[in-house]
Amino acid sequence: MSQSVEIGGVRLHLAHPDEISVSWVGREDALRALLAAWQVVVPEDRPMHPRVLGKPGVGKTTLAYAAARSLGRPVYIFQATMDTRPEDLLITPVVGSEGEIRYAASPLVSAMIQGGVCILDEGNRMSEKSWASLAPLLDDRRYIESIVSGIKVKAHRDFRLTATMNDDASTYELPEYIHSRLQPQILLDFPDEEEERQILAKHLPFADEEILQYVTQFLQRAHDADERYTVRDGINIARYALKRLHQGQLGGDFEVALRESVSSVLGEEALGYLPEP
């Protein structure tokens, strides 16, 4: 049953929080930096809106979600795309079962109302027009104005926001007035060897240590060559190799399974980063 609230005479139907079973393994300094940005140290202070920047697959969303859950608040994830419109970010009119107009609050607005945390995922895929609708939320005003519903929504004092951003070419440049509102910047790089092995073990508790170590060495060799392969790729490689081994057609040879898996997941050009036999 969806929850709803009335604001300015308009009934808003709220989104459900996201429930994901994840935990943060790795850089504690990044976790502390994110939580510090959200702190309010005196009544006159206000939380900041950090952006987490890094290559795809390094764990930006996992970091943000784990930090948000550590606060004990509901977490809402909004997946930004190049097609995201201002009304998608805020409040969308929808036709009800009996032909009536209902107003659906986005995950972001639901977090504002509920005092939750919103993760604006891959935020730099959005256009400036969409970002402009959030400008008053990201400064001392802390509200949004919805043109389609004709109401203004103020953020709950416990509301927190972070934006994750991919460091790649398929994104928009942030307008300066938004860039200055999304501070501080938290850079998330590839994990070191032991952290990477721990992440793999966390996601693949059923994998043999030999496989985890082999995939970790592959990833570290790729990082040293400045390849963009990430631990997400490593998880997919190990998982597919385990499935192939389970079929029983490779004679239990995990190196053969991993070579096939690397080729299938990343392409033959990635085989050069496999550890020496």
The structure's pTM equals: 0.87
Q: Alpha-carbon distance 240 to 234, whole Å? A: 10
Residues ≥6 apart with Cβ < 8 Å to 216 = 193, 196, 197, 200, 234
pLDDT one-digit tens code per residue, 87-140: 999 999 988 777 788 999 999 999 999 999 999 999 989 999 999 999 999 999
Q: Which comes out higher in pLDDT, residue 62 or 173?
A: 62
Task: Check residue 248 and give its pLDDT.
Answer: 83
Task: Say if CB 30 and CB 188 are below 8 A apart.
Answer: yes
